[in-house]
Structure 1
Amino acid sequence: MAKFSGLTNDQVLKQEEMGHVNKAVDDQAKTDWQIIKENTFTYFNLIFLILAILLILVGEFKDLTFLPVIIANTVIGIIQELRAKRVLDKLNVINATKVTVIRNNIEQEIPIENLVLDDIIVLKTGDQIPADSVVLDGSLKVNEALLTGEADEILKKQDDDLLSGSFVVSGKAYAKLTKVGKESYVSKLTLKAKEMNQKEQSEMIRSLNKLIKWVGIIIIPLGLALFAMAFYVNHHSIAESVTSMEAAIIGMIPEGLYLLTTIALAISAMRLAKNQVMLHDMKSVETLARVNVLCVDKTGTITEPKMAVTSFEPINIEKDKLFELISNFAQSMPQDNETSKALGAYFTSNRETADHIIPFTSVNKYSGAVFKDKTLLVGAPEFVLRNQFDEYKSKIDSFTSQGYRVVAFAKYPQALKNENDPLTQEVELLGLILINNPIRKNAKKTFKYFAKQGVEIKVISGDNPLTVSRVAKEVGIAGSEKYIDATELNKNNYDEAVKKYNVFGRVKPEQKRYLVKALQKAGNTVAMTGDGVNDILAMKLADCSISMASGNNAAVQASQVVLLDSNFAKMPEIVNEGRRVVNNIERSASLFLVKNIFSLLMTFFTLAFALTYPLRPTQIALISAFTIGLPSFLLALENNFSRIRGKFIPNVMTRAIPGGITDMIAVSVLVIANQVLDLGRQEVATTATMLLIAVGMMVLYQISAPMNKYRVGVFIVSFLCLIFAIIFAHNLFALSKISMKAIFLLVVLFFAEVTAFKYLSKLADGFQEVLNIYSQKGSKTTIGELKLAYKKADR
C-alpha cells in the first residue's frame, strides 16, 4: 500500500483561513443565545406581556401577581438548560469521534471537526467516513445504508468516491477529502445516522406540543368574546372587563407545564451524564422508559467485548504444526477486529507471511490468507465448511454447548483473489479454535431487573445459536432455551419467529433489522443495543438505540444513548431515570390541566349564559402557585420508578378531568346562586377561590396516592402556604371577608364537591383501566375483559 506524506502545517492553516474546515452543522446543539431566546420569546410569554400591559393601562396593578411566577419560570428554565448544555458539551468534547489523518508524514488522530479540505485520512473496518472523499490507495467494502437505506456492501477501489455518513465494513484504504463542512453530507451526518430529527419526538413531547398548540389557538377568540360579553352585554367597566377576561385566559394557559418538562428532561440528561451515560437526545430517556422488548447482542453486552483464545483442537494434523499454520495466518492478518486480536495474541510463532489477505465480511463470515497456491481460512464453521459441516457438527456442538465460540481453521486448495471469489471446492478442516468472552460481572443482576419489570429480552447475535443460548441461560435470560439459527429464516416467517424464539444466532446485519421490524409490528416498543457496524441497521430502526463507547465510531454515532464506560449494568439506572421523569411529569401535568379544564369549561358557561367570568387574575395566580406550581416542583424531585402504563394524554386527562369538572360545577352553581342571593362580585370571587383551592388540594391528594412521608410533607407545606397567603396576603390576592350566606353556600358546595369528585374519579379510573387494557391488546380485547377492568378499577 502506498505511503503518503499528507498536508503540512502551513497548508492546513491556509485551508482553515479559507474556511475549508470539516465543521459539521449540528442541528441538535443550541447556542447559549438560542436557549435564552427559545425560553424567553415564546408565544405564551407574548400573551402574558400583552395581558400585563392591559392591566397596567387600566390601573389593576394588584392583578399582576402572575408576572413573578412567569419570570421565575423563564429564568429557571434558561439556567437549567444552560447547565445541562455545559455538562453535555464537556462530554461531547471528551468523547468526540476521531479519525486517523496523515500530516507532515505522520499518522495522528484528530477530531472530525479539525479535518480540512485535501487532508489524507486512513480508513479501516468500523470507521465512519467523516467527509466526502476519494480513494487514493487500497480497497474498502462500504455500507451506505445510513444515506440510501440500502444495506448492500459496495466495493470501493482506487479513484472511487466515498460519501460521508457511510461506514466501512471491511478493508483498509487511504482517502483524500474532496468536500468538507457544509459542502458535504457531514453537516447532516448526525441526523442521517441517528435518524433523530424534529419530527421524531417522544410520545410525551408530541402530546404536549399538540395540547399547547390547541390552547394557543383558542385563547385569543375566547378572550375577545369574554371581554365583549363583560363590556358590551353586562356593561362592566373596562377595568372589570379586562380583569375577568384575563383571569380566564391565564387559567387556560398551562404556563409551567412545558417548562417543567424541559427542565425535568435536562436535569435527567445532566444526572445521567455525570454517571457516564450520554444522551444524544434528551427525549430518548423517555422512550427507553417505555420499552418492553430489549434486543441485545451476546458480545459486548452480555459478555466483555474482548475475546481470548482458550484452546484449539487439531483435526488430522499435529498440534505443533497446526499452531505454526494458525500463527502464520494470525500474524499476516490486520488486527482490526476482536477475533483477529485474540488470534494474534495467542498464536505468536510467525515463520511465513501471506502473499495477500482476504478481509472478513459480515456476509461471508470468514477471512483468509493466501500462501502461494492455497488459502488458509478462519471463520464460522457453517460458512467455511458448507456442505461438509454435518460431518463435524457433533464435535462442534459439544464445544458450543459449553459456551465456547468455535472458529474453523481450514485449507482451501486454491489461491483466492479477493473476498468476492466464491468457495467452489471442498476445504480441508485442520482444526477448531475455541474462543471465549468472559461474562460481564453484573449481567445476571441486570437481566434479573428487566425480568421483574416485564421487559422481554431477545438475544440477537452473529455467533452460533447454541453458544448464544448457553451464555443467555448462564445470565438468567428467560426462554434462553428457545433458539434458532437465523439462516433458517426468510422474509415471510420473521413475525412468527419473534413470538416463538428468544435467542437468534448466525444473524446477518440485514436480518437484525427484519427482527426489530417484526417486533415493532407486533406492537412492541423496542430498544436495541450494539457496539459494531453490524448492529447499526437495527439500531437505526429501533425505537431507542444504545451503544457501548468501546464499540466502533459508527455505532456510537448512530445511537441515541451511549454508555461511556461500556457498562451494560447502567441500563436499569437509565430506565429508572426515564420512569422518574415520565411519572413525575404525568403527575404534574394532571395538576396543571385541572385549572386549564376548569377555565375552559367556565369560559363556555359564562359565554352561553351571558355572565361575567367570576375570578380575578391574582386569585388564579394564588391557586396556581400553591395547588400546582409548588407541589409540582417538589413532587418532581421524588424518585418514582413505577412502570409506565398507557398513553400520556389519556393518563393525564383521566386524572385531571374529574377535578376540572368538579371545579366548574361548583363555581357554576355559585354564580347561579348569586343571581338570587346577590352576594356581589367580590364575595363570589373570594368564595370561588376557596372552592377551587379545596378541589386543588383534593386533586393533589389523589395524584400523590399512595401517600408516604415525603408526599404528606408536600401536601402539608402546600396547605400551610395557602393558609399563610389567605391570612397575611389576602389584599394582594384580592380576597375579602364573606357574609354568612356565602359561608353557608361555601360549606354546602364543599361537601357537594367531595361527593362529585369521588364519583367522577371512580368513573375516570375505570375508563383509564379500560384504555390501558385496550392499548395492550388492541382489537383482540374482548368486551368481558374491558368490563372486568372497569369493575376492578371501580372497587
Structure 2
Amino acid sequence: MNATLNLPEVEENGLTASQVRACEESGQTNAVKSTTSRSILDIVRANVFTLFNGIIFAAMVLVLITGSWKDAVFGFVILINTGIGIVTELKAKRTLDRLSILVTSDYAVRRDGENTEVPSRDIVLGDLLWIRSGEQVPADAQVLSSYGLELDESMLTGESRTVRKEDGDQVYSGSTAVSGVALARVNAVGEHSYAATLTAQAKVYKKTVSDLNKGINTILKFMTFLVVPLCVLLVWSQMRTVGGWNAAIASGEWRQAIVSAVAGVVGMIPEGLVLLTSLNFAVAAMRLARKNTLVQELESVETLARVDCLNLDKTGTITDGGIMFDRLVMLERMDGDDRVESAATQALYDLSNEEQPNGTGQAVLDGLGERGYHAGPVRARVPFSSARKWSAIVTPAAAAETESAADREPPTV
C-alpha cells in the first residue's frame, strides 16, 4: 500500500489499467459537460426577433429607402433594447455554465492493488474510491468498508445533522466527509451522478411570463393592424397633395411623403415605454447581481417584485449551513461572578483551540476571538471523543494546585 496516502490496509485490488482504459473509451468517466439548456444563438434570436423590433425595423427600412438616413435615427432604439437583453442574459448564461455543486480536486482510488490519486474527472465507473475526512464525494458510490465515516449531506437534503455510513450504505456525490474514512465502489459517474442531476435541473431555462411585457405586446399587436392601413392612407394623402404619383416621382416629393407618413406612424408606437421597461429590468438585474442573485431573464425581475413572502427551507441547501457562537450561559449558582465567567469563557476557548477543530470549535474560536480572547497556556489536553462525550484541558494553575494538594496529603502506608 502507498504509505504516503495514510490509508487503511485492504484486500481489494480495484480495477486494472485495461479496465480503466475500457471505461474511458466508452465514456464512463466522471467528466461532466458544463453547458446550459439555452445557447447563445437562442438568446440572440429571442431578443432580436420581437414584434417591437419588427415594426421599428420595417419603418426604418422605409425611411432609408428614401435616402434620408438622418430621419432613421429612431432605429437605434432597436440596438439599445436588444443589446440590454442580450448582454444581461449572456452574463446569466456564463454564470450558469460555471455552476457546479462539485469541487474539482484530486481523490485517492485503488487500482491494481495500489492507492493512487487522480483528478475527479478521471474517476471511472467501478473504481474503488477512498472517501477521506474533509473531502467532497465526487461520484455516487456504495460503501464497502467504513472506518467511522460521517457525511454532511446538507447540500443535497437540507439536513444539517451528519449521517454515519456503514458497510453497504449508498453515498451520493455532493456530500462532504466530516470524519472517518471509507472505501467505496463507484456506481454512478458524470451526468448520471446525483450532484450532476441537481446541477442540470438548476440550469434548465424556463420562460418567464411578464404581465408588463404581455400588456406591451398586446398594444403592439393592436398597433400592427392599425399602422399598416394608416401608413398607406398617409402616403396616399401626401401623394395627392403634391399632384399624384407621377408628379411626386418626377419631382422627388415621394421621399418626403414616405418620411412624413412613417413619422406619423412611429409617433403612435410606444418606443419610450418599451425602452424604459428594458432599462428598469436591467438596473434591477444589476442590483440583484450585487446581492449574488442570478437573473436568467430580465422579465423575472417583475416576478420577484410581486413576491410578498419568501420561505426558505432548512439550513444547508439555500443557506450556507454555518454556525456562530452566541453566548455562554453560566449555571445559576455561578451567574453574576465576572471572574468565574471570564475563566469559564477562557477555558471554553482553550478547549476549542485544537489542531484541527470541528465546526463547533471553529465557531467558538471565531466568536470569542472577536471579543478579545486568545489562546491561554495549556499543559495537557484530552481531545473530545464521541464515545466518552467530553474533552478536557489542564492549565498550569490547575496543575500547580493539584501538585500542592498532593504534597499536603500524608503518605499512604
Out of 124, 131, 139, the residue aligned to residue 132 of structure 2 is 124
Percent identity, aligned pairs only, is 24
Distance 2:285 2:333 in 1: 63
* Residue aligned with 1:42, SS: helix
**Alpha carbons of 1:258 and 1:130: their partners in 2 closer, same or farther (altered >3 Å)?**
farther
| 1:703-742 paired onto structure 2 within 5 Å | none
Q: CA deviation at 1:77?
A: 7.7
1:349-748 equivalences in 2 (<5 Å): 397-402=341-346, 405-407=349-351, 462=360, 470-474=368-372
Which whole-Å CA distance do the structure 2 matches of 1:463 and 1:470 have between them?
11
The yes-or-no answer on 1:155 pairing with 2:175 is: no
Alignment counterpart, residue 108 of structure 2, candidates 101, 112, 117: 101
Q: Deviations over 1:281-328 (max 9, x none)?
A: 478xx99xxxxxx997559xxxxxxxxxxxxxxxxxxxxxxxxxxxxx
| Structure 1 residue 99: Cα displacement | 4.5
User: CA contact under 8 A between 1:404 and 1:435: conserved in structure 2?
Assistant: no
CA distance in 2, matches of 1:229, 1:76: 31
| In 2, Cα distance between equivalents of 1:13 and 1:4 | 19
How far does residue 88 in structure 1 lie from its aligned partner after superposition? 10
Shift of 1:173: 0.7
User: 8 Å contact 1:132–1:177 — kept in the other structure?
Assistant: yes
Matched, 1:252 2:196: no
Q: What do the CA deviations read for 1:75-94 (whole angstroms, capped 9, x no partner)?
A: 798689879988998x989x
Distance 1:263 1:9, change over 3 A: farther
The answer to whether the Cα contact below 8 Å between 1:130 and 1:164 also exists between their aligned partners in 2 is yes
1:222 aligns to what?
A: 223
Tell whether the 8 Å contact from 1:22 to 1:131 is kept in structure 2 after alignment: yes
Contact 1:129 1:165 in 2 (8 A): yes
In structure 1, the residue matched to 2:313 is: none
Instruction: Write the distance in 2 (CA, Å) between the matches of 1:434 and 1:262.
Output: 45
Question: Which string of whole-angstrom CA distances, capped at 9 and with x for unpartnered residues, describes residues 311-349 of structure 1?
Answer: xxxxxxxxxxxxxxxxxxxxxxxxxxxxxxxxxxxxxxx
Aligned amino acid, residue 115 of structure 1 = I
Counterpart for residue 20 of structure 1: 28
Which residue does the alignment assign to 2:144? Answer: 136
- The SS at the match of 2:275 is coil
Amino acid at match of 2:58: I
Q: Is the 8 A contact 1:127 1:168 kept in 2?
A: yes
- 1:540-584 per-residue CA deviation (whole Å, 9 max, x = no partner) reads xxxxxxxxxxxxxxxxxxxxxxxxxxxxxxxxxxxxxxxxxxxxx
Q: Distance in 1 between matches of 2:193 and 2:164?
A: 21
Match of 1:183 in 2: 192
For residues 447-476 of structure 1, the C-alpha deviation after alignment (integer angstroms, 9 at most, x for no partner) is xxxxxxxxxxxxxx835999776444449x
Aligned twin of 2:387: none
- Which residue of structure 2 aligns with residue 56 of structure 1? 61
Change (3 A) 1:56 1:233: closer
Q: Residue 397 of structure 1 contacts residue 466 of structure 1 at CA under 8 Å; is this kept in 2?
A: no
* Matched AA of 1:257: L
One-letter amino acid of the structure 2 residue matched with residue 116 of structure 1: V
Contact 1:223 1:245 in 2 (8 A): no
Aligned partners of 1:101 and 1:119 also within 8 Å: no
5+ residue gaps, structure 2: 1-7, 239-256, 305-319, 374-413
One-letter code of the match for 1:224? F
How far the C-alpha of 1:17 sits from its partner, in A, is 2.0
Gap change, CA 1:48 and 1:162, over 3 Å in 2: same
Give the equivalent residue in structure 1 for 2:180: 171
TM-score by length of 1: 0.31
1:257 to 1:72, Cα distance in 2 relative to 1, 3 A: closer
The answer on whether the counterparts of 1:24 and 1:186 sit within 8 Å (CA) in structure 2 is: no
Secondary structure of residue in 2 paired with 1:23: coil
**Residues 584-608 of structure 1, C-alpha deviation per residue, up to 9 Å, x if partnerless?**
xxxxxxxxxxxxxxxxxxxxxxxxx
| Kept after mapping to 2: 8 A contact 1:24/1:188 | no
1:528-550 superposed Cα distances (whole Å, 9 cap, x missing partner): xxxxxxxxxxxxxxxxxxxxxxx
> C-alpha deviations, 1:451-503, integer Å up to 9, x for none?
xxxxxxxxxx835999776444449xxxxxxxxxxxxxxxxxxxxxxxxxxxx
Q: Which runs of 5+ in 1 are unaligned?
A: 273-278, 288-293, 300-380, 383-388, 408-432, 438-460, 476-795
Q: Which protein has the bigger helix share?
A: 1
Residue 714 of structure 1 corresponds to none
Relative to the length of structure 2, the TM-score reads: 0.53
- What CA deviation, in whole Å up to 9, does each residue of 1:121-162 have, x standing for no partner? 221334333322111211533344444444554432222222
SS in 1 for 2:32: coil
SS at match of 1:20: coil
The 1:390/1:252 distance shift into structure 2, 3 A limit, reads: closer
CA change 1:5–1:243 in 2 (3 A) is: farther
Q: Secondary structure at the match of 2:360?
A: coil
Question: How far apart, CA to CA, are the structure 2 residues paired with 1:43 and 1:216?
Answer: 15
Matched residue SS, 1:177? strand
| Aligned alpha-carbon RMSD (Å) | 5.6
Q: Name the aligned partner's letter for residue 226 of structure 2.
A: A
Task: Specify whether residues 190 and 280 from structure 1 end up closer, same or farther in structure 2 by C-alpha distance, changes over 3 A only.
Answer: farther
CA deviation after TM superposition for structure 1 residue 21, in Å: 2.4
Question: How far apart, in 2, do the equivalents of 1:113 and 1:390 lie?
Answer: 57
Structure 2 distance, partners of 1:73, 1:162, is 48
What's the CA shift for 1:230? 6.2
Is the CA contact (8 Å cut-off) linking 1:52 and 1:64 kept in structure 2?
A: no
The answer as to whether partners of 1:400 and 1:406 remain within 8 angstroms in 2 is no
- Contact kept, 8 Å, 1:55 with 1:64, in 2: the verdict is yes
**Counterparts of 2:95 and 2:160 in 1: how far apart (Å)?**
36
What residue identity is the alignment partner of 2:360?
G
Distance 1:99 1:215, change over 3 A: farther
SS in 2 for 1:401: helix
Provide the C-alpha distance between the structure 2 equivalents of 1:265 and 1:39, rounded to a whole number of angstroms: 23
Structure 1 residues 109 and 403 mapped into 2: Cα distance closer, same or farther (>3 Å)?
farther
Within 2, Cα distance between the matches of 1:157 and 1:12? 27
Cα 1:13/1:258, change in 2 over 3 Å: farther
In structure 2, relative to structure 1, the CA distance for the partners of 1:212 and 1:73 (3 Å cut) is closer
Structure 2 residue 56 is the aligned partner of structure 1 residue 35: no
